[in-house]
Amino acid sequence: MTRRSALIDTRVIYCGDCLDQLAGLPNHCVDLIYIDPPFNSNRNYEVFWGETKEKRSFEDRHASTQAYIEFMRPRCVQLARVLKETGSFYYHCDWHASHYVKVMLDQIFGENNFQNEIVWKRSTAHTDARQGSKHFGRIHDVLLFYTGGSQDYPWNQLYQPLGEEYIRSHYSQVDEEGRRFQWDNLSGPGAAAKGNPYYEVLGVKGYWRYSKERMDKLIAEGRVAIPSKGATPRYKRYLDESKGLALQSVWDDLPPVNSQARESQGYPTQKPIALLDRIIGASSNPGDIVLDAFCGCGTALISAQNLKRQWIGIDISPTSCRVVANRLRKECALRENEDLWRAGRGFIVRDLPRSEAELRKIPPFEFENWAVIALGGIPNKAQVGDKGIDGRIYPVSAIEHRRDAAQRREREAGARELGFMDQWYPIQVKQKDKTGRPDIDSFEAVMAREDRTKGFFVSFDYSSDALTEIDRYFRKSGNVIVPLTVKEILDEQIAQKLA
Ligand SMILES: C[S@@+](CC[C@H](N)C(=O)[O-])C[C@H]1O[C@@H](n2cnc3c(N)ncnc32)[C@H](O)[C@@H]1O
């Protein structure tokens, strides 16, 4: 069980602009911040779901870089305020703006608190580097690592396994027991000036890095010897005692999230858990508070939960917040429940849009996702070419049917049963005050094209013409269109209509 901070609530996902949400946190309360903001935030919906046709001119890009920095500056000021002096901060970005971000962060966190520019190689080859493109492939992201001012920040040294080539060239000696080792230098660096002791070791006088007592002990243990006639004494460093190579600032051993991977949520901006495990593992300890103020599908939160840290997530997108909640339930077996949360076990999501007025204000894309997810459906990811379908509902009866089928399949090995995938109802969403007859007409066309007998429509309200048409359509074809209002969804009065 993770403990709750006395100062702030953890295991909370806040839905909203992090500028507003961070204002509610006290000064210096967080141990580790990781952020991975979308490059061009005023179009975050496209970026979150993947920008397909990015082809902007230099002027466009430059203007948007400036806008991006202006957008990020006040948010980073807030982040610096909530970071503890002993805290660490990682900003994940790429070539689009990393150099501008570095200048901004130097101003906010202080140049002296800059620790590393980490290069994460996120792909092996890129279409950028195809024949004909006149630049090198852009295959890495940049992580800028700062600390909060104190030298006393957590640091858990991480190691990488030694490569075969390194082992061959550095651990070339083998002792009588077959253990690989290398001869290491024993002389005191800086000689007398650095206060190294001067004495005789195995007949050789010099400045040494260890005290005479320690050296005598190492000689007695057989760890110090003269490698060859006339050579100076050396230390035997064994391969099987090596932790590996201290991790450096180029990370080329963490592959991106593969679309087929179990952790994949289907979002192009999703970062791999292993990357966040590394950052959180190095820069925090169990019980510390980790904050991701642009949490996307929640990779940092999942990693923090797995590594027994406390966490806070913020994302402006209600869809994103729901994805994180689902992920926490599935991947961490954590329940979204206020009572459990108070008892220190579950998690909660705060500030999701809950009123009709709030839902009128969110962008159409978010509105569609909100409605589809509220109905228990699966949103259509492609926002273009969705052919009039915003989401699909797979009715429970179809899932039951699939279970039966799965059991039958086990019994009748070889029999194929894919019927479940074809049992779905389309959902059409309109963020309109009054859906009219033409909207219903075009949904009927979609139902006919897809050969569906039932479909769901979501809107704020319907004109009487629209409702008459739904009746006429049923009488003529036997097919059902269920008109749902936002109010019904908010009041959760939809259960019978969905049945
Ligand atoms: C690149 S994604 C983060 C992906 C994340 N690292 C992961 O692995 O899933 C950026 C996220 O920032 C969110 N976002 C954009 N503007 C925001 C703001 N002003 N406040 C909070 N979140 C914001 C977007 O909705 C998006 O989910």
Query: Exposed (0-12), middle (13-18) or buried (19+): which is 284, by Cβ within 10 Å?
Result: buried
Q: Matching CATH topology for 12-157+247-350 and 356-498?
A: no
Could you tell me if the CB of 36 is within 6 A of ligand 1? yes
Could you tell me if the CB of 303 is within 6 A of ligand 1? no
Q: Would you state the pLDDT for residue 396?
A: 53
Mean pLDDT for the chain overall: 85
Q: Strand 454-459 vs strand 348-350: parallel, antiparallel, or unpaired? A: unpaired
CA of 489 to the centre of ligand 1 (A): 26
Residue matched to tokens 């969905």? 498
Domain 12-157+247-350 in CATH 3.40.50.150:
yes
Q: Average pLDDT in the 227-231 region?
A: 91
Q: Strand 114-121 vs strand 250-251: parallel, antiparallel, or unpaired? A: parallel
The encoded tokens of residue 151 equal 């030298």
The encoded tokens of residue 489 equal 């969804």
For a ligand 1 pocket test, name from 25, 90, 315, 366 the mutation site with the most ligand atoms within 8 angstroms of its C-beta. Answer: 315
Could you tell me if the CB of 141 is within 6 A of ligand 1? no
Q: How confident is the model at residue 112 (pLDDT cuts 50, 70, 90)?
A: very high
Could you tell me if the CB of 296 is within 6 A of ligand 1? yes
Judge whether residue 19 has pLDDT over 50.
Answer: yes
Q: How confident is the model at residue 105 (pLDDT cuts 50, 70, 90)?
A: very high
Q: Whose CA is nearest to atom 16 of ligand 1?
A: 41
Q: Which amino acid is it at 52? A: T
Could you tell me if the CB of 297 is within 6 A of ligand 1? yes
Give the list of residues 6+ apart from residue 362 with CB closer than 8 angstroms, or none. Answer: 318, 353, 370
Residue matched to tokens 């961490």? 332
Could you tell me if the CB of 271 is within 6 A of ligand 1? yes
Residue matched to tokens 């391969």? 239
For a ligand 1 pocket test, name from 13, 44, 311 the mutation site with the most ligand atoms within 8 angstroms of its C-beta. Answer: 44
Give the Cα separation of 392 and 399 in Å (integer).
14
Give the Cα separation of 297 and 319 in Å (integer).
9
Q: How confident is the model at residue 151 (pLDDT cuts 50, 70, 90)?
A: very high
Query: Which carries the bigger pLDDT value, residue 419 or residue 388?
Result: 388
From the list 299, 253, 289, the residue with the least C-alpha distance to 92 is 299
Could you tell me if the CB of 277 is within 6 A of ligand 1? no
Give the list of residues 6+ apart from residue 326 with CB closer than 8 angstroms, or none. Answer: none
Judge whether residue 294 has pLDDT over 80.
Answer: yes
CA of 40 to the centre of ligand 1 (A): 11
SS3 sequence, the chain? Answer: CCCCCCCCCCCEEEECCHHHHHHCCCCCCEEEEEECCCCCHHHHHHHHHCCCCCCCCHHHHHHHHHHHHHHHHHHHHHHHHHEEEEEEEEEEECCCCHHHHHHHHHHHHCHHHEEEEEEEECCCCCHHHCCCCCCCCCCEEEEEEEECCCCCCCCCCCEECCCHHHHHHHCCEECCCCCEEEEECCECCCHHHHCCCEEEECCEEEEECCCHHHHHHHHHCCCEECCCCCCCCEEEEEHHHCCCEECCCEECCCCCCCCCCCCCCCCCCCCCHHHHHHHHHHHCCCCCEEEECCCCCCHHHHHHHHCCCEEEEEECCHHHHHHHHHHHHHHHCCCECHHHHHCCCCEEEECCCCCHHHHHHCCHHHHHHHHHHHCCCEECCCCCCCCCCCEEECCHHHHHHHHHHHHHHHHCCCCCCCHHHHCCEEEEECCCCCECHHHHHHHHHHHHHHCCCEEEEEECCECHHHHHHHHHHHHHHCCEEEEEEHHHHHCCCCHHHHC
Q: Would you state the pLDDT for residue 385?
A: 53
Q: Whose CA is nearest to atom 7 of ligand 1?
A: 270
C-beta separation of 149 from 81 below 8 A: no
CA of 96 to the centre of ligand 1 (A): 17
Could you tell me if the CB of 318 is within 6 A of ligand 1? no
From the list 155, 119, 124, the residue with the least C-alpha distance to 285 is 155
C-beta separation of 122 from 67 below 8 A: no
Give the Cα separation of 334 and 338 in Å (integer).
12
Q: Whose CA is nearest to atom 3 of ligand 1?
A: 296
The class level of CATH for 356-498 reads alpha beta
C-beta separation of 459 from 429 below 8 A: yes
List Cα–Cα distances, 417 to 266, 392, 409, 413, 453, in angstroms.
25, 20, 7, 11, 21
Q: Strand 173-174 vs strand 159-160: parallel, antiparallel, or unpaired? A: unpaired
From the list 211, 208, 233, the residue with the least C-alpha distance to 223 is 233
Could you tell me if the CB of 322 is within 6 A of ligand 1? no
Enumerate the domain spans of the chain.
Answer: 12-157+247-350, 160-243, 356-498
CA of 453 to the centre of ligand 1 (A): 38
117-122 contacts: CB < 8 A, separation 24 or more? 117/142, 117/143, 117/144, 117/145, 117/249, 118/142, 118/143, 118/144, 118/145, 118/249, 118/250, 118/251, 119/249, 119/250, 119/251, 120/251, 120/254, 120/275, 121/250, 121/251, 121/252, 122/256
Atom of ligand 1 nearest to the CA of 17: 20
Give the Cα separation of 312 and 8 in Å (integer).
9
Please write the tens of the pLDDT for every residue from 167-222: 999 999 999 999 999 999 999 877 777 888 999 999 999 999 999 999 999 999 99
Could you tell me if the CB of 37 is within 6 A of ligand 1? yes
C-beta separation of 294 from 16 below 8 A: no
CB atoms within 10 A of CB 20: 13
Q: Would you state the pLDDT for residue 53?
A: 35
Please write the tens of the pLDDT for every residue from 359-409: 998 888 889 888 887 777 777 765 545 678 998 887 654 443 444 444 444
Could you tell me if the CB of 18 is within 6 A of ligand 1? yes
Q: Would you state the pLDDT for residue 419?
A: 42
Give the Cα separation of 236 and 224 in Å (integer).
6
From the list 117, 20, 84, the residue with the least C-alpha distance to 310 is 84
Give the Cα separation of 215 and 287 in Å (integer).
41
Q: Average pLDDT in the 261-273 region?
A: 83
Could you tell me if the CB of 435 is within 6 A of ligand 1? no
Q: How confident is the model at residue 96 (pLDDT cuts 50, 70, 90)?
A: confident
Q: Whose CA is nearest to atom 26 of ligand 1?
A: 296
Judge whether residue 81 has pLDDT over 50.
Answer: yes
Could you tell me if the CB of 17 is within 6 A of ligand 1? yes
Q: Whose CA is nearest to atom 27 of ligand 1?
A: 296
Could you tell me if the CB of 299 is within 6 A of ligand 1? yes
Could you tell me if the CB of 317 is within 6 A of ligand 1? yes
Give the Cα separation of 404 and 408 in Å (integer).
6
